[in-house]
Each structure stands twice: as C-alpha cells, then as structure tokens.
C-alpha cells in the first residue's frame, strides 16, 4: 500500500528525505517508523518523526556528518543516534531485535530484517514504516488498528509485558490517545494480571507515562481502566476522583481549553497539599511540578473563599495566572467572568523597595522588612491601586504608629 500525496508530504519532509538519501548512498536504507506513520494514517497531527535504518549507529555517525548533518549519539547502546536538521531532531534507530530482556532493559542485536524490527515494537499501530517512495510497510495489521482505534500488542500480551513492564503504562497511554470503543481484551487482562510488576519501574518513567496519558484530549475512560485493573493503585492510588476529572474535561470542552497532565492529575486527587506532596515525592516529580501539584490542591478552596474580581486578583498576585487558571477549572460552577479577569491580569509591581524605607531614615535591619510587608499587604488589600507616593506615605505612617 502507498501513502497518498498529502500523507507523503507530511512525513517525507525535505529533512527526512535528506537523511534517507544519505543512508541509501551509503548502501543502506532508512524508513520513517512509529508515531509519525501511525498519526498520518489516523489522519491526526504528527509529532516527532523517528526513523529506522539498516545501518549500524557507528556508520550513521560517519556518513551523516560527512554530508553536513549534525549528529548526536543519544543512545548508541541500543542503536539510536539523533540527526539534527534545521534545529529539529530525528531519532534514527538501527533495526534490531531484543535478545535478552529483564522487564526493564533489553540487550539488543542489530539486524537487517525489517519484520524482525517490527516484531520487537509494542503495538501494531506503532510498527508501521514508510519508505522514500511512500510505500507503507505494515507487518501486523497496524494500519487498520490505527484507523479503528484498536490498541493491540504485537504477539502475546503477557509475554510482551514481561519483556518490558513499561508497556503496561504505554498501553493505557496509547488507549487514552488513540483508542476507540472497548479496549483490547487480551491487552487489558494481561495488564491486570501483571499490574503488580509496575513497582519495578523507575518512578520517573512511570510519572512520564501517567502525565502523558492524562494529557490526552479525554483521558477519563483510560484512567478508569487504570483504576479498575489495579494499575493506578501501584503508583497513584490516591488519584481516584474520576467524577471530578470528568467534570474538568467537560468544563475544558465548554471553554475550548486544554489543561495539561499535571492539572488533570490534580483533579483526581483530594484537595489537600499533603497528599499532593506525597504523590509528588513517590513519582519523583520535578520541584516545579511538585510545587504546582501542591498549589493546585489548595487553590480551588482559596478561590471559593475569595469570591469576586478583587479576591481573584489577590490570589493571582500570590500564585500566578497559570496555576490560578487551572485551579478555576478544577472548581465547579461558572468561570466565564473569572477567566476575563485572568486574561486582563498583568502582575503589578509593588512600587516601593527596602531602600526607600532606609532613605526615609529608618536604619537597615529586620524592621525594614516588617514595614515593607505591612505596606504590601495594605497595597494588596487596596486592589493594587495605590501609587508609589501613597505607599511611601503609608510606610511613613506605619513606621510612626508601630
Ligand atoms: P509519541 O507520539 O508519543 O512520540 P511514539 O509511538 O513515537 O509516540 P515513542 O515512545 O516515541 O512513541 O517510541 C517510538 C517507537 O518506538 C514506538 O512507536 C514503538 O514502535 C517503539 N517503542 C517505544 N517504546 C517501546 C517499548 N517500551 N516497547 C516496544 N516498543 C517501543
Ligand atoms: Mg516518538
């Protein structure tokens, strides 16, 4: 089968063709593989373009730079190099099969057999290749599965999961993004049966999959399956408020918004910072993500307590527009008016500094900070309207009275 002209232009870009040409001139072949081919078949937007090639990674490291293409050895041990063309990276992985696996990493052997490379991939829809002529290579019926939304393991689901336990989470992630209708029975029962193996995975990899899953347009069905199959309980057992996630998605649709995986995770959790901190630590989230999760745990209640535009601005000043907007979606009720306030929000700059207080004759020391904080609190309570002169006057007054 051949990709149509439109599909070809999407994935056989000039940069991709350049890489393919260099491989062919060196006596090998490179084809586009994985997500890009899957997405073009589905008729969806394509992300990164990955390639598979018959040439060993060391050979790629020679021939691409010789043609002026920058190359980064991103994963030589498993056959991956990254070519950089016009500041875009293209992962090129040598055809391989996995000879030994321990559920976490595989020992690989390079091959020149395309079908063998396809067979070591996880799902049928992820094992599609397109060559320079636009010919589609589909060894396991993946094109049909991509179109119908059938996420299906290549081969025996349990065996494939035992080779690499991360595939459990990948199954739910791909189902969240591309699944239509009921999930594949064999895949789901294998995930259920082997859910207890997921603690052997690194927290970072689990977190990455969970956040990617939850970033799907509507992850509700997939997350429910994660819960029902006992997989969610292994790393995110507190994330059970599926009704709140559903409500969040509905509100996103109503306001044509799309929140990220972390905000969706927050919606599944109870509204308390301690739980957010616990799960952030377990999933080894970055400090930034952990702080954000904790903020999203407490902000909805703060929003309920500080009604009105002025109350909202007070919270915006303390927490920033990004978190407050997400928190707004986590709450029930109408948010149209609040969104207008957030759109108009520009973080005001507190107009006075410590040196201003010093200049007024108060000696440097802890007293300066105390006065500053008091004036800032007064300035916030006045909805950020007071001028620099008014703040200085208030500081002088405060200095006299306290
Ligand atoms: P995305 O759009 O998220 O990038 P993708 O399908 O490209 O989706 P990647 O994680 O980038 O996913 O992996 C690229 C390809 O490598 C996959 O399509 C799949 O063929 C293969 N692959 C990745 N991870 C695994 C795995 N754990 N087991 C088997 N095959 C895998
Ligand atoms: Mg990819």
**Contact between residue 220 and residue 246 where contact means Cβ atoms under 8 Å apart:** yes
Instruction: Answer whether 73 contacts ligand 1 (Cβ < 6 A).
Output: no
Residue 67, pLDDT score: 95
Instruction: Answer whether 164 contacts ligand 1 (Cβ < 6 A).
Output: yes
Identify the residue whose C-alpha is closest to ligand 1 atom 1.
Answer: 35
Gap from CA of 174 to ligand 1 centroid (Å): 10
Residue 99, pLDDT score: 84
Ligand 1 atom nearest to 93, measured from its CA? 16
Residue 327, pLDDT score: 96
**Per-residue pLDDT tens over the stretch 105-116:** 778 899 999 999
Is pLDDT of 251 > 80?
A: yes
**Per-residue pLDDT tens over the stretch 144-185:** 999 999 999 999 999 999 999 999 999 999 999 999 999 999
What's the whole-number mean pLDDT along residues 223-233? Answer: 97
What's the whole-number mean pLDDT along residues 233-252? Answer: 96
Gap from CA of 287 to ligand 2 centroid (Å): 26
Looking at the chain, the domain(s) classified CATH 1.10.3090.10 span 150-237
Backbone angles phi, psi at 186, to 5 degrees: -60, -40
Ligand 1 atom nearest to 127, measured from its CA? 20
The pair of three-digit structure tokens given for residue 32, joined into one six-digit string: 């586009």
Is pLDDT of 224 > 90?
A: yes
- The mean pLDDT value of the chain amounts to 95
Write the burial class of residue 347 (CB in 10 Å: 0-12 exposed, 13-18 middle, 19+ buried): exposed
Is pLDDT of 223 > 80?
A: yes
Gap from CA of 173 to ligand 2 centroid (Å): 13
Residue 108, pLDDT score: 86
Q: Which fold has domain 1-148?
A: Beta Polymerase; domain 2 (3.30.460)
**Per-residue pLDDT tens over the stretch 261-299:** 999 999 999 999 999 999 999 999 999 999 999 999 999
**Per-residue pLDDT tens over the stretch 326-376:** 999 999 877 888 999 999 999 999 999 999 999 988 888 899 999 999 999
Gap from CA of 126 to ligand 1 centroid (Å): 7
Ligand 1 atom nearest to 47, measured from its CA? 2
Cα(278)–Cα(75) distance, integer angstroms:
33
What's the whole-number mean pLDDT along residues 302-319? Answer: 93
Cα(287)–Cα(280) distance, integer angstroms:
9
Q: Which residues contact 330 (CB under 8 A, 6 or more apart)?
A: 244, 248, 263, 266, 267, 296, 299, 300
| Displacement of CA 79 from its chain's centroid (Å) | 25
Residue 63, pLDDT score: 97
Residue 122, pLDDT score: 98
Cα(364)–Cα(342) distance, integer angstroms:
37
Residue 173, pLDDT score: 98
Is pLDDT of 238 > 90?
A: yes
- CA-based R_g, the chain, Å: 27
Residue 102, pLDDT score: 81
Name the CATH superfamily, with its identifier, for domain 150-237. cca-adding enzyme, domain 2 (1.10.3090.10)
Residues with a beta carbon under 5 angstroms from ion ligand 2: 35, 48
Looking at the chain, the domain(s) classified CATH 3.30.460.10 span 1-148
**Per-residue pLDDT tens over the stretch 14-52:** 999 999 999 999 999 999 999 999 999 999 899 999 999
Write the burial class of residue 281 (CB in 10 Å: 0-12 exposed, 13-18 middle, 19+ buried): exposed
Cα(207)–Cα(226) distance, integer angstroms:
14
Instruction: Answer whether 35 contacts ligand 1 (Cβ < 6 A).
Output: yes
* pLDDT band at residue 101 using 50, 70 and 90 as cut-offs: confident
* pLDDT band at residue 100 using 50, 70 and 90 as cut-offs: confident
């Amino acid at each position: 089968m051949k990709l149509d002209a439109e599909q070809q232009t999407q994935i056989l870009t000039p940069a991709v063709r350049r890489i393919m040409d260099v491989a062919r001139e060196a006596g090998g072949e490179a084809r586009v593989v994985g997500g890009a081919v899957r997405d073009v078949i589905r008729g969806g937007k394509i992300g990164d373009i990955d390639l598979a090639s018959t040439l060993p990674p060391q050979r790629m490291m020679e021939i691409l730079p010789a043609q002026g293409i920058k190359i980064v050895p991103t994963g030589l041990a498993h056959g991956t190099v990254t070519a950089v063309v016009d500041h875009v990276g293209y992962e090129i992985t040598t055809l391989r099969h996995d000879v030994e696996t321990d559920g976490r990493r595989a020992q690989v052997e390079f091959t020149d057999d395309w079908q063998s490379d396809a067979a070591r991939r996880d799902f049928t829809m992820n094992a599609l290749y397109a060559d320079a002529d636009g010919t589609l290579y589909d060894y396991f019926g993946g094109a049909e599965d991509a179109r119908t939304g059938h996420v299906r393991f290549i081969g025996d689901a349990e065996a494939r999961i035992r080779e690499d336990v991360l595939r459990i989470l990948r199954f739910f992630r791909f189902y969240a993004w591309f699944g239509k209708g009921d999930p594949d029975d064999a895949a789901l029962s294998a995930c259920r049966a082997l859910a207890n193996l997921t603690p052997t995975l690194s927290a970072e990899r689990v977190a990455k999959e969970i956040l990617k899953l939850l970033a799907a347009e509507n992850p509700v069905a997939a997350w429910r399956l994660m819960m029902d199959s006992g997989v969610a309980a292994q790393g995110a057992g507190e994330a059970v408020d599926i009704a709140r996630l559903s409500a969040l998605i509905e509100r996103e649709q109503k306001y044509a918004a799309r929140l990220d995986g972390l905000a969706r995770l927050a919606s599944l959790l109870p509204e308390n910072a301690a739980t957010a901190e616990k799960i952030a630590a377990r999933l080894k989230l970055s400090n930034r993500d952990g702080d954000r999760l904790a903020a999203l745990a407490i902000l909805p209640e703060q929003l309920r307590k500080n009604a009105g535009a002025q109350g909202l601005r007070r919270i915006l000043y303390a927490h920033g527009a990004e978190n407050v907007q997400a928190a707004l979606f986590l709450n029930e009720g109408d948010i149209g008016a609040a969104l207008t306030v957030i759109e108009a929000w520009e973080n005001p700059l507190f107009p006075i500094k410590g040196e201003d207080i010093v200049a007024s004759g108060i000696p440097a020391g802890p007293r300066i900070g105390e006065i500053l904080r008091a004036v800032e609190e007064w300035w916030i309570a006045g909805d950020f309207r007071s001028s620099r002169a008014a703040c200085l006057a208030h500081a002088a007054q405060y200095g006299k009275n306290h």
